[in-house]
């Protein structure tokens, strides 16, 4: 009972903070098993999302519907103008936040998201709801907002609307009560989310999250102490000190309770008092305050919009920062989706920009801190919008001074974010480990027995007359040739062992036949056909593409994977080569290509303006020995592996470039039984999932064995499990 009484005495904010601390402590104590309670957090998230869109619907309709025609004409256009200018200013502020993110070297394995077809942007479905109930069920926020705005405006001139307005009020109040019931579960939900995250998140991920929190807090301080009060100070008769002192109590109350709703009456009262102090109180300004405060509450505030900065952070976090072309979409989509809660907006935008959905869990972990700042900013936003519009109604708002204040704020934000970037980079330890990660890769399974084969030796005359498969089985060894620079298909790791996608397949092929393998490096590619023909080697590996001319000299197996054409470019040029149309419009363009004329001709069809330079050694290109070459046409799968060794380069697939090349093993001509057997084996390994596992490991970098269990007190200190 004493604990129950103590719990009741705690404020909601104190309960959430305690739940957060207990959750993190539990995750550290238990470790990975804490991830099993993530389902409780998912339930809490769904309950939060449940009432959001219905509340947006009725609150916007009711808030606008209460206006009469005269009041709407006096207030409407001025309010819209002020709100839109503030929205654009905050969104411009968000675009400056990435300047504070440290320029850490990052690179990773190939990702299937690079070749996934982006979801078609259906503007009509997104903004124009043919069925509002379908839009509600599919969580299409912009469509719901547009419908609500049109309904609210139409309701202004409807007679006998009191019943409907009462209904919207009652439904809104009911939804708020449901939300308050759900809010009581916040300690349980936050505990589950934080325990699961603390038990499963890697140290590097936690380190990167603090980058978001520091940048968020810095941006919130700039908006609270520069942007919002400066607008009032420069553009209205009110002073900087007056707005902060008048709004202070409401801001602190909103911070403590976690909701702006409870301070709406306080905002109305204090705004009217401040207007009266300056002799600006009249029927028009009283009506402005009475209508605008509850109506503006239904629209995105400065605090709400600031939360959208997580999308920019998430893009940086996963190593795919939004390009300049994405900024317009971010501004428009961000402002519209912010009409709902962040619990709806963030998942929607993550999906829209093809970012991992599980990043939302990271957002929720940080939201325990950021939500309080957002609520305080929302309360201050209510004061500022109301006083700006009231001043505009009395023609005492200096629009040019307002724009000057915005310009000054953006200049200050620019400088602060650049400085914050230097500070965060120096204070937060970070070390790029991509080279070690890649070079440390080992075979998934035990290697087949290895025969030493150091010198190329042709088969004897009589052996050359026999079927090659019969020779291999009789010798109980297969001779495998490979070329240099064949990442990630055939290369030597830091232990000087041959590893890679193709090597893994060959190891399994040899084990299935109960034979050994012999590996030998081929120096000259022009000798390949002759070496295969005379039996010096039985097969060559290394991610070889099938071309018509080579098929005249050797035999290819069935394709077991594909090379996706892309570009290897320096990080500094990444945005320049993000779109095929941009590349085609370049006046001077020098591209590196391989030696195959077949694929050179394909490149020329896509990029007729490009001057092609043959590059036969990718490592030399990455070391800067082709200074006049702007980018190298290369396999994105292989290029991603190379970029891990040379993180100043990136493998990109320009939007609009759709070119794939089949990859196969190279076999001697005229050995039909051998080729048919290998194709049958490849098909078996495809059907039983082995090829997919090898692809996931060597191409996508998915290595369950390499992931060590998270350290925990229960396991590593107490030894309970």
Domains of the chain and CATH, by start: 10-97+121-201+211-427 (1.10.3860), 437-721 (3.40.190.10)
Residue 18 or 339, more confident: 18
- Residues with Cβ < 8 Å from 238, sequence gap 6 or more? 232, 274, 278, 387
Helix, strand or coil, per DSSP, at residue 139: coil
| Phi, psi dihedral angles at 658 (to 5 degrees) | -130, 90
316-325 contacts, C-beta under 8 A, 24 or more apart: 316/98, 316/101, 317/208, 317/212, 317/359, 317/362, 318/355, 318/356, 318/359, 319/106, 319/107, 319/108, 320/355, 321/98, 322/353, 323/575, 323/578, 324/575, 325/578, 325/579
Q: Which two tokens stand for residue 184?
A: 């009581």
83/304 Cα distance (integer angstroms): 13
Beta-carbon count within 10 A of 134 CB: 12
Q: How many angstroms separate the Cα of 347 from the Cα of each of 94, 219, 328, 340?
A: 18, 22, 19, 12
176/163 Cα distance (integer angstroms): 20
Q: Which two tokens stand for residue 28?
A: 């550290």
522-553 residue pLDDT tens: 988 889 999 999 999 999 999 999 999 999 99
Q: How many angstroms separate the Cα of 417 from the Cα of each of 13, 222, 320, 423, 624?
A: 30, 10, 20, 10, 32
Q: Which two tokens stand for residue 70?
A: 């005269």
Q: pLDDT-based confidence at 204, cuts 50/70/90?
A: low
Residue 124 or 626, more confident: 626
261-275 residue pLDDT tens: 657 777 778 888 888
End-to-end Cα spacing for the chain? 34
Residue 614 or 175, more confident: 614
Q: What is the DSSP letter of 709?
A: P
Q: Residue 465: what pLDDT?
A: 92
Question: Which residues on adjacent β-strands are paired with residue 563?
Answer: 661
293/380 Cα distance (integer angstroms): 11
Residue 348 has pLDDT above 90, yes or no: no
Residue 325 has pLDDT above 60, yes or no: yes
639/176 Cα distance (integer angstroms): 53
453/531 Cα distance (integer angstroms): 14
Q: What is the DSSP letter of 486?
A: B
Can you say whether the dihedral through the CA atoms of 486, 488, 490, 493 is positive or negative?
positive
CB 65 within 8 A of CB 164: yes
Q: Residue 379: what pLDDT?
A: 86
Q: Residue 153: what pLDDT?
A: 80
82/77 Cα distance (integer angstroms): 9
98/418 Cα distance (integer angstroms): 9
Report the chain's mean pLDDT, rounded to a whole number. 84
Q: Which residues of 451-477 are buried (b: 16+ CB within 10 A; e: fewer)?
A: eebeebeebeeeeeeeebbebbeebeb
643: exposed, middle or buried (C-beta count within 10 Å: 0-12, 13-18, 19+)? Answer: buried
435-494 residue pLDDT tens: 888 888 999 988 889 988 888 899 998 999 999 999 999 999 999 999 987 899 999 999
Q: How many CA within 13 A on the CB side of residue 558?
A: 13
Residue 224 has pLDDT above 80, yes or no: yes
- Residues with Cβ < 8 Å from 233, sequence gap 6 or more? 239, 240, 243, 405
Beta-carbon count within 10 A of 162 CB: 10
Q: Residue 4: what pLDDT?
A: 67
72/66 Cα distance (integer angstroms): 10
650/321 Cα distance (integer angstroms): 12
| Phi, psi dihedral angles at 3 (to 5 degrees) | -65, -40
| Phi, psi dihedral angles at 433 (to 5 degrees) | -125, 20
pLDDT, mean of residues 173-181: 78
DSSP string across 286-340: HHHHHHHHHHHHTS--HHHHHTTHHHHHHHHHTT-PPPHHHHHHHHHHHHHHTTS
Residue with tokens 């290509």: 593
| Phi, psi dihedral angles at 631 (to 5 degrees) | -160, 160
- Residues with Cβ < 8 Å from 12, sequence gap 6 or more? 183, 186, 257, 258
Q: Which of 183-192, 506-515, 592-601 has the lowest mean pLDDT?
A: 183-192
330/713 Cα distance (integer angstroms): 42
Q: Count the helices and strands in the chain (H runs, E runs).
A: 33, 12
Residue 183 has pLDDT above 80, yes or no: no
How are beta strands 539-545 and 516-521 bridged, if at all? Answer: unpaired
Q: Residue 360: what pLDDT?
A: 78
pLDDT, mean of residues 657-664: 92
CB 291 within 8 A of CB 75: yes
């Amino acid at each position: 009972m004493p604990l129950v009484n103590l719990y009741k005495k705690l404020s909601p904010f104190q309960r959430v903070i305690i739940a957060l601390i207990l959750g993190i402590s539990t995750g550290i104590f238990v470790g990975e098993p804490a991830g099993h309670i993530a389902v409780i957090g998912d339930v809490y998230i769904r309950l939060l999302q449940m009432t959001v869109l219905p509340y947006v619907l009725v609150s916007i309709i009711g808030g606008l519907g209460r206006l009469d025609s005269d009041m709407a004409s006096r207030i409407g256009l001025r309010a819209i103008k002020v709100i839109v200018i503030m929205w654009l200013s905050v969104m411009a502020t968000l675009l400056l936040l990435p300047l504070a993110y440290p320029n850490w070297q990052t690179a990773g394995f190939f990702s299937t998201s690079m070749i996934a077809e982006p979801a078609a942007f259906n503007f009509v479905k997104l903004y124009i709801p043919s069925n509002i109930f379908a839009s509600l069920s599919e969580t299409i926020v912009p469509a719901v907002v547009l419908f609500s705005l049109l309904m609210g405006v139409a309701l202004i001139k409807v007679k006998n609307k009191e019943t409907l307005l009462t209904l919207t009020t009652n439904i809104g109040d009911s939804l708020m009560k449901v939300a308050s019931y759900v809010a009581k579960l916040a300690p349980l939900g936050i505990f589950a989310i934080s325990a699961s995250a603390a038990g499963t998140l890697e140290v590097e991920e936690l380190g990167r999250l603090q980058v978001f929190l520091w940048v968020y807090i810095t941006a919130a301080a700039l908006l609270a102490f520069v942007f919002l009060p400066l607008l009032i100070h420069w553009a209205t008769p009110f002073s900087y000190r007056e707005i902060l002192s008048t709004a202070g109590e409401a801001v602190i109350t909103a911070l403590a309770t976690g909701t702006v709703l409870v301070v709406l009456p306080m905002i109305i009262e204090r705004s009217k008092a401040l207007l009266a102090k300056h002799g600006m109180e009249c029927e028009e300004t009283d009506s402005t305050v009475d209508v605008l405060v509850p109506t503006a509450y239904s629209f995105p505030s400065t605090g709400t919009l600031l939360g959208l900065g997580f999308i920019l952070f998430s893009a940086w976090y996963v190593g795919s920062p939004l390009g300049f072309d994405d900024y317009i979409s971010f501004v428009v989509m961000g402002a519209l989706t912010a009409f709902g809660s962040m619990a709806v907006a963030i998942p929607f935008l993550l999906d829209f920009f093809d970012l991992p959905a599980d990043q939302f869990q990271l957002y929720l972990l940080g939201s325990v801190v950021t939500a309080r700042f957002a609520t305080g900013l929302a309360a201050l936003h209510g004061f500022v919008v109301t006083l700006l519009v009231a001043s505009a109604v009395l023609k005492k708002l200096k629009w040019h001074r307002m724009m000057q204040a915005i310009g000054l704020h953006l200049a200050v934000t620019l400088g602060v974010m650049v400085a914050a970037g230097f500070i965060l980079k120096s204070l937060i330890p970070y070390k790029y480990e991509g080279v070690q990660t890649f070079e440390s890769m080992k075979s998934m399974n035990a290697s087949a027995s290895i025969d030493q084969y150091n010198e190329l030796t042709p088969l004897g005359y009589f052996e050359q007359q026999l079927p090659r498969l019969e020779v291999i089985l009789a010798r109980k060894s297969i001779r495998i040739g490979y070329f240099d620079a064949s990442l990630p298909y055939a290369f030597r790791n830091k232990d000087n062992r041959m590893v890679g996608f193709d090597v893994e397949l060959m190891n399994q092929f040899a084990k299935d036949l109960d034979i050994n393998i012999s590996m030998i490096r081929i120096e000259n590619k022009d000798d390949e056909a002759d070496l295969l023909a005379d039996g010096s080697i039985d097969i060559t590996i290394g991610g070889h593409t099938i071309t018509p001319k080579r098929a005249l000299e050797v035999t290819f197996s069935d394709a077991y994977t594909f090379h996706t054409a892309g570009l290897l470019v320096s990080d500094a040029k990444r945005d320049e080569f993000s779109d095929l149309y941009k590349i085609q419009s370049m006046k001077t363009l020098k591209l590196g290509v391989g030696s195959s004329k077949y694929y050179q001709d394909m490149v020329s069809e896509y990029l007729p303006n490009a001057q092609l330079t043959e590059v036969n050694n990718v490592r030399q290109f990455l070391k800067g020995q082709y200074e006049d070459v702007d980018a190298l046409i290369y396999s994105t799968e292989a290029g991603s592996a190379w970029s891990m060794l040379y993180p100043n380069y990136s493998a990109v697939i320009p939007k609009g470039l759709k070119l794939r090349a089949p990859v196969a093993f190279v076999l001697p001509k005229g050995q039909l039984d051998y080729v048919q057997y290998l194709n049958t084996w490849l098909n078996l390994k495809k059907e039983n999932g082995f090829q997919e596992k090898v692809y996931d490991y060597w191409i996508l970098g998915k290595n369950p064995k390499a992931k060590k269990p998270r350290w925990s007190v229960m396991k590593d200190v107490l030894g309970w499990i």
